[in-house]
Structure 1
Amino acid sequence: MSGVEIQSSLSNGNDKKEASHDDDIRHLRDWLPKQPHLPPITNEQLSTFLHACYYSLERTKKTIDQYYTVRAAVPELFSGCNPKKPEIQKVFDSVNFVRVPEVTPKGGFRIYFASLQNFEPANFDFENSLKAFIMMTDVNLMHETQVPGYVLVLDATGVCLGHIPRISIPMLKKFLIYVQEAMPIRLKQIHVINAQAIVDKIYAIAKPFLKGEIIEIIQFHKPGNMDTFYDCVSKDILPKELGGKSKTIETLHSENKRKVEDSTDYLQALEKTAKADESKRPGQPKGHGEIFGMEGSFRKLTLD
């Protein structure tokens, strides 16, 4: 696949020897002037992309291009990145976004956790929830640039049929393309816990936009069956509500929210600089169809 390589948690990837890292950076520095549509990129940023792509130069180039291209092409998710705006504050009051402080004992993977605070579908803002999640990851990637791997945990508690019409399929598709092909991370595991029957319907919506490598690392854990989850993620490092010894979800969410709010200047600067200029791309500019494929005429799901 192009973009960020996704591997199972049992794989060590195909990292090159550290000695070749400087050569890779020099190669990318020679390549960048031939990409006038891309913004200035620091050596530290190049290192982050290289690490995420297991030091494959070709994959790194594709991921860099896709990262800046998608961020320019989807203003709905990548503009107005001010976590203090009322609509984003409303998201933080209805959805938990948690960065677990401790990494997994095996692999040193960072865990991100998300769950609903407010179960009322009318209070679920799908688009701004995606934007808030992206802002959270942007801020944390600023502080942690070369994490061995990431584990995403989604708690489906409170998800019901009424949430489905609030999902924009085109926006979901764009978000998943960004996560799978552009984010400079090594995604190792995805767990959906408390996965009641409605999760199957939501998964069916998302599955056409998921790459095979992603599908292989998704695990569903039914309500009351956390043992299968604990087999993959160390119980002790999890928040208290999940049986662990860490802080509560509420406390961790509040800390993460404050961290994102304190990074408002960084996020707004990133919004201005982290995007491609298609008018300067060598050859033909990339259109929406080339980046995301056909979107169709629908905007939201219905329950007809």
Structure 2
Amino acid sequence: MRKPLDPERTQATLNEIAQRMAGEVNRGEVADYIPELADVSLNQFGIAVAPLEGPPLVAGNGDVPFSIQSISKVFGLVIALEHVGATLWRRVGREPSGDPFNSIVQLEFERGKPRNPFINPGAIVVSDIVLEHQPDGSDTHPVLDLCRRLADAPEIPVDEDVFASEVATGDRNRALGYFMLAEGNIKGDVRAVTESYFRQCSIAMSCRQLAKATRFLAAGGEGQDAKIAAVTSERVRRINALMMTCGCYDASGEVAFRIGLPCKSGVGGGVVAIVPGIGSIVAWSPGLDEKGNSVLALRAIEELAHGLDWSVF
């Protein structure tokens, strides 16, 4: 049986990890294919744990906002499932891809049905559903609104410079959208759908805020956070399962092997990990490995999970 979180021990462990990460030399490389992300300093590291009860525990640069990028796919999936339920899976699969997150090869072979909602084509289909059900006249992106409510932080912004950079360099994602349109798996205007997707990826949050916003996934469908996210215990289990198998691109199996927790990464350098019954972990450092996952964030979560004996296995 898992022991309850000890705030003092957890904070001390976070402080030790942040101190070690500050001295690391091998920090990876920033995502330079998005120009605004290429300018982020590598010399940053933050980490936070949001327990189910009590305030978040934070160390390092845990209050510095960063672009959440593909972590936003979790929130988009939550919203799309609220709108269309299990019919979503007619348009998006639930299997790991084994290919890069923006690959078109598998998508062509499988006639426009993406393998899962956490690779780019899958997230674009999810964005198509979210946009289709967005209320007329709404001036707030549904994913941004959900993040603000879950984090209890109405000040959370979209980084407009990152958004403009995404739009300017987004031809590959638009190509994925047009291919799926040709196969009948996109219903809306491809440019509007992909811009909605770029906007959610450009949301800027700190480790503290993102940990609070994702801890509903640790609560088993119970509590106020689960009500805000409109999730049941069954839906939470399934989202966590997808994070475990598909959440870190084509390194998801390796991450599951090393860490043993459902994780979702983003090329902004953030990684979320869920400890069912305990809370949410978020670590951030902008330097990425060759698969697009933060080098130091994964290492830090691995150290924390092993040090506190947190695993789903």
Normalised TM-score (structure 2)? 0.28
Higher Rg:
1
**Superposition TM-score, scaled by structure 1 size:** 0.28
